[in-house]
Amino acid sequence: MEEGFVAGMKQKSYYVHTRTDLLGLIPKDAKRILDVGCGEGILGRQIKESADGIEVIGVEKDEGSYKTAVKKTGQRHSGRY
């Protein structure tokens, strides 16, 4: 497998990119966010840091990225699809 690629042949950068443009779209009264395709949890961590008391639930099918997200966010939600 070519360097920089992970399962499913997506570049590793796909799982670690930052989407700060999405932070402004979250309603101020949101209590829970579902982050589908959460990658390594970067956006989830940013959401938790920017909004006090908000719960972020991440879903990721790439096992390596999922494990990294658990470490970064301190939360674990499991599921398969």
What range does the domain containing 35 cover?
A: 7-73
Residue 2: inside a domain: no
Record the tokens describing residue 2, joined without a space: 């070519």
For the stretch 63-81, what's the b/e string if a residue is b when 16 or more beta carbons lie within 10 angstroms of its beta carbon?
A: eebbebbbebbeeebeeee
Residue 78: inside a domain: no
- Residue 69: per-residue pLDDT: 85
- Residue 32: per-residue pLDDT: 92
Please say whether the beta carbons of 6 and 27 come within 8 A: no
Residue 53: inside a domain: yes
Residue 57: inside a domain: yes
If one counts the domains in the chain, the total is: 1
Q: Which residues pair with 14 in a beta bridge?
A: none
- Residue 54: its H or E element: none
Full pLDDT tens readout for the chain, 81 residues: 444 444 555 666 666 777 888 889 999 899 999 988 888 888 888 888 888 888 888 888 888 888 888 887 776 655 443
Residue 68: inside a domain: yes
